[in-house]
Amino acid sequence: MKKLILTTLLASSILLASSGKELTKQNGCMECHNIMGKKAAPAFMGTAKKNLKWYGDEAKANIIKGIKSGSKGKYRQFSDTEMPAYSNISESDLDTIASWILSEFQKMKSQKMSQGQKISGQRKSRP
Ligand code: HEC
């Protein structure tokens, strides 16, 4: 039973990763955004970080709102470009995209933390 639950969890997180990414490709988001690193628009990882900082538990809802209604002026560096409103994307697809952005951010954060531990471990072993 435990195995089944684990397998289901694993399968759904893989599905989330592929379909969230696919959806951003299909909808042309990657014309302006990167997952990591700036383009014409803030990196998805940057939007996750900011929204978590600004809204905490409401981060996902606000990311969804930003995609659905568009956004302008929140990220000062990108004031030349506007986030268009995507009112045509279904609620469930919006949810998939927002969950994917946030889960990629958590993944990146935990990877960074384990890399940081390695680096400080190496430093310690130096004479
Ligand atoms: C024409 C370029 C462009 C396209 C295409 C675009 N974006 Fe954006 N996006 C932006 C800009 C510019 C901002 C920053 C807006 C601001 O400063 O308020 C932004 C902001 C965002 C934010 C942060 C919103 C917030 O409130 O913090 C998210 C999330 C986002 N975009 C997701 C998407 C997704 C998902 C798609 C595709 C469905 C998409 N974007 C397509 C330019 C774009």
pLDDT along the chain (127 residues), means of 10: 72 72 96 94 97 96 98 93 96 96 94 73 56
Let me know if 65 is exposed, middle or buried by CB neighbors in 10 A (0-12, 13-18, 19+). middle
CATH 1.10.760.10 corresponds to the domain 25-105: yes
For the chain, give every domain's residue range: 25-105
pLDDT in tens, 50-74: 999 999 999 999 999 999 999 999 9
In 3D space, the residue among 29, 52, 44, 42 whose CA is nearest the CA of residue 104 turns out to be 44
Quote the distance between the C-alpha of residue 29 and its chain's center. 12
The pTM score is 0.85
Determine how many CB atoms are found less than 10 A away from the CB of residue 84.
14
CA 98 to ligand 1: nearest atom: 29
- Integer-rounded Cα Rg, in Å, for the chain is 17
For ligand 1, residues with CB inside 6 Å are: 24, 27-29, 31-33, 40-42, 47, 50-51, 62-63, 66-67, 71-75, 78, 81-84, 86, 97
Residue 33, token pair as written in the block: 């955004």
